[in-house]
């Protein structure tokens, strides 16, 4: 992402803010310096940046995005602060973004897949109302191809919901594709993997052949294009 942003906006300084406390601790333990979002923003302020554009890498506008909104608005009120600070939305935030993300997902379908095989995109999921983007995306995708499904690892559509849809679909093979920015612990533990509760184990017990695709959306140029367009 850094390389693509740099190529698109040459000579513009780029900095990273890490919102996850767990990730910052992990880096600290390895003696690597990474900044929280407020630290990254205040450092740019100290460097006399006048205009700052913030691009979150979230997928839906849930609680984590709201935290970013609150942090960015706090900096709008700083004396001797930025002339302008803008915040782009996450990937899904409007009706038209649903179509854009849907089309991007159609472009990353596994190339070996035949049309009678299912593709299950798995997002994070949350009890925030923005969770409804997942079933909305599923509805949009199924208009294009009835063998495309969307579930979440933490909320709804959950395993039971998706299992019954898959059993009705007649598919034998299911590709498991993370609808996550990076394929980290949720992809490697909750989606794929030997844990008896993982999506892979559960679906295999139902008789499906599972093919996990352990790549985060940030590894596809198609998705970086979407973030870059917003930026």
Reply yes or no on whether 124 is catalytic: yes
The Cα 100–Cα 159 span in angstroms is 26
Written as six digits, the tokens of 55 are 């691009």
Count of beta carbons in the 10 Å neighbourhood of residue 203: 22
Strands, E assignment, the chain:
51-54, 84-87, 118-123, 148-152, 173-178, 209-212
CB 131 within 8 A of CB 60: yes
DSSP label at 203?
H
Catalytic residue among 51, 124, 128, 186: 124
Written as six digits, the tokens of 58 are 């979230």
Q: Just list the catalytic residues.
A: 124
């Amino acid at each position: 992402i850094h390389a693509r942003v740099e190529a698109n906006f040459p000579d513009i300084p780029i900095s990273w803010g890490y919102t996850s406390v767990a990730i910052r601790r992990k880096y600290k333990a390895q003696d690597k310096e990474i900044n929280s979002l407020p630290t990254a923003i205040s450092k740019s302020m100290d460097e006399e940046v006048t205009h700052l554009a913030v691009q979150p890498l979230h997928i839906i506008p849930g609680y984590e995005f709201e935290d970013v909104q609150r942090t960015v608005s706090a900096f709008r009120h700083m004396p001797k602060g930025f002339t302008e600070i803008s915040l782009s939305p996450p990937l899904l935030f409007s009706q038209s973004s649903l179509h854009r993300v849907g089309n991007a997902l159609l472009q990353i379908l596994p190339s070996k897949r035949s049309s009678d095989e299912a593709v299950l995109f798995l997002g994070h999921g949350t009890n925030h109302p923005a969770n409804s983007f997942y079933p909305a995306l599923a509805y949009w995708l199924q208009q294009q191809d009835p063998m495309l499904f969307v579930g979440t690892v933490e909320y709804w559509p959950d395993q039971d919901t998706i299992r019954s849809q898959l059993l009705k679909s007649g598919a034998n093979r299911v590709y498991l594709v993370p609808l996550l920015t990076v394929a980290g612990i949720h992809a490697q533990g909750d989606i794929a993997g030997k844990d008896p509760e993982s999506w892979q184990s559960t679906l295999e017990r139902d008789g499906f052949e599972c093919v996990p695709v352990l790549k985060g959306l940030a590894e596809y140029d198609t998705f970086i294009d979407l973030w870059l367009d917003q930026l």
